[in-house]
Chain A
Amino acid sequence: MEPILEVRNLRKEFQGFSLKNVSFTLEKGYIMGFIGPNGAGKSTTIKLIMNLIHKDGGEIKVFGLDNVKYEKEIKERIGFVFDENYFYDELTISEVKRVVAPLYRKWDNELFHKYIKEFSLPLKKKIKHLSKGMKMKLSLAIALSHHAELLIMDEPTSGLDPVIRSELLDILFTFIQDENKSVFFSTHITSDLDKIADYITFINDGEIIFSCPKDEIVENYGLVKGPKELLHSDIQQYLIGVKENQFGFEALVKDKQKIKRMAGDNIIVEKPSLEDIIVCFQRGM
């Protein structure tokens, strides 16, 4: 089966920052969390997928089609939610719908009104008078009302309260029940991904550190705690983002079984959260 999103050796140069051969694949029916610290290249990658900026090299295929050559066809089948509101402040929700609906061949008016009701959005209210959560829900209502097969979301939960974030995750979970649909979701609030993501792609300083199933990360990665003496042994080369304290050290390892075999009872290995992984990788750079 063809991947819904395929990025190969994607390159983009800016002054002081570059995206270096970014590659990852998202299959149909899954949610991929795209994580990394601020300035790592998450939004740049998403803008490249949306053809809002031009790549310097590499390949992006959405639904198996080149994202530039078949831009219009692809965008008919994509729903997008960005980190900030880009809908016109002066328009009401009803006016936004009037402008946006005819742009999509598969627009479903009934479905839109169902979401408007479900999200308690006031049709006659201007966008500028909506809360941040409501704006995000409007973006989501529009993204879902044209039967998008791929949702691309750039930090959709940033600045939202836990209740709305939880609502969003429930909606995504329902959306993904159709196995032909996928979600590509960038965030630095990793606890959201702990709940719903199937795959995690981690980008740091413009480079993909890993892109794999979340379960694989949980099974293989470990947060190691041990005495400082171990820092001078063979183990040291496997430690990422070492943090020393008066009792010993704490670091991330990619293969916890290997470290356990090497260090025996001298260490404690815990399950790292996605946040631990981001922090350790950033510390280790």
Chain B
Amino acid sequence: MFQLILKDILLLKKIFLFAAAYIIVMMFLKEDSAVVFFVSVIVVTYMLILSACAHDDKNKADILLNSFPLTRRTVVMARYCSIFVFSVIAIMYYLVIAHILQMTGLSAQAHSVSLENVAAALCAVIFINSVYFPVFFKFGYIHSRLVSFILFFGTFALAPAFFEQADHPLVRDVIHYFPHLSEGKGMAIVAAVMMFLLAVSFFFSLQFYRKREF
């Protein structure tokens, strides 16, 4: 499985350069470091995952991958693991670039990152890909592009709208429930929900991919 992720990393060398440039531009354009971090992680991860899927499609990689001694489960699992690998890469990118900019004095802004920032970005990335991957494994890259596009822009459009609806009784109930929990417990619940979402998504992706013919 590691080899499949390594293959993606080798294929995405150019995208990594572009991602660094994107984060630098974002840091100069936006002042709120939490927003810059959130957007950077989502955009970079989205770019990397979609480009990896595009490379596989362009090279008809399913024929190659399924001719190697790999199970279809491993192929699907590698895609899901890449969510975390690419998210970590995006976070590291952000931290290193922010550090360099501060050290060189090019940016006066202190781009600090809290655990909540990391959790929020990871939740968004997991949500987007948990919905996208079953569609990708069912229909392939070309037919799933629209879904990924809607999910990506939908996340940015709906996130502020959700917070604007904070007065809605249902949202209020949810929000008011969390203060009764310790920070650790709240995080654990969110993590459990995300893991459940990933597990359900993985289950469907695997079912779809096992039925695919190449």
Residues of chain A at the chain B interface (Cβ within 8 Å):
47, 50-54, 71-73, 75-76, 80, 82, 86-91, 95, 98-100, 102-104
Contacts and interface: CB of A to CB of B under 8 A. Distances in A.
A100 B63 contact: no
Interface stretch (B68-76, B92-100, B111-119, B128-136): B68-76
A103 B58 contact: no
Contacts of B71: 71-72
B11 A90 contact: yes
B59 A86 contact: yes
A102 B3 contact: yes
B68 to A, nearest CB: 5
B64 A86 contact: yes
Nearest to B63: A86
A75 B67 contact: yes
Contact of B7 (A51, A99, A104): A99
A239 B11 CA distance: 57
Given A88-B11, A88-B61, A52 B68 contact: no
B13 to A, nearest CB: 8
Contact of A75 (B62, B69, B213): B69
B7 A103 contact: no
B7 A87 contact: no
B10 interface: yes
A130 B66 CA distance: 23
A53 B210 CA distance: 10
Contact of B213 (A54, A76, A103): A54
B58 to A, nearest CB: 7
Contacts of A75: 67-70
B214 interface: yes
Contacts of B10: 91, 95, 98-99
Contacts of B58: 89
A88 B65 CA distance: 11
A51 B212 CA distance: 11
Contacts of B213: 47, 52-54
A86 B60 contact: yes
B85 to A, nearest CB: 15
B6 interface: yes
Interface in B89-107: none
Interface residues of B, number: 24
B145 interface: no
Nearest to B13: A90
Given A88-B11, A91-B11, A99-B7, A52 B66 contact: yes
B55 interface: yes
Given A86-B59, A88-B59, A52 B69 contact: no
A80 to B, nearest CB: 5
A72 B64 contact: no
A50 B59 contact: no
Main secondary structure on B side of the interface with A: helix
Given A86-B67, A88-B59, 9 more contacts: A52-B66, A75-B69, A87-B59, A87-B64, A88-B55, A95-B10, A99-B6, A103-B70, A104-B69
A99 B3 contact: yes
Contacts of A51: 66
Contacts of A52: 62-63, 66-67, 213-214
Contacts of A104: 69
A278 to B, nearest CB: 26
A98 B60 CA distance: 20
B55 A90 contact: yes
Contacts of A47: 213-214
A102 B68 CA distance: 11
Contacts of A71: 71
Nearest to A79: B67
A103 B75 CA distance: 12
B60 A103 contact: no
A12 B55 CA distance: 30
B66 A50 contact: yes
A70 B28 CA distance: 55
A50 B69 CA distance: 11
A14 to B, nearest CB: 10
Nearest to A52: B214
Nearest to B71: A72
Given A47-B214, A99-B7, A103-B3, A86 B61 contact: yes
A47 B68 CA distance: 13
Interface string B169-194: 00000000000000000000000000
A122 B66 CA distance: 26
Contacts of B214: 47, 52-53
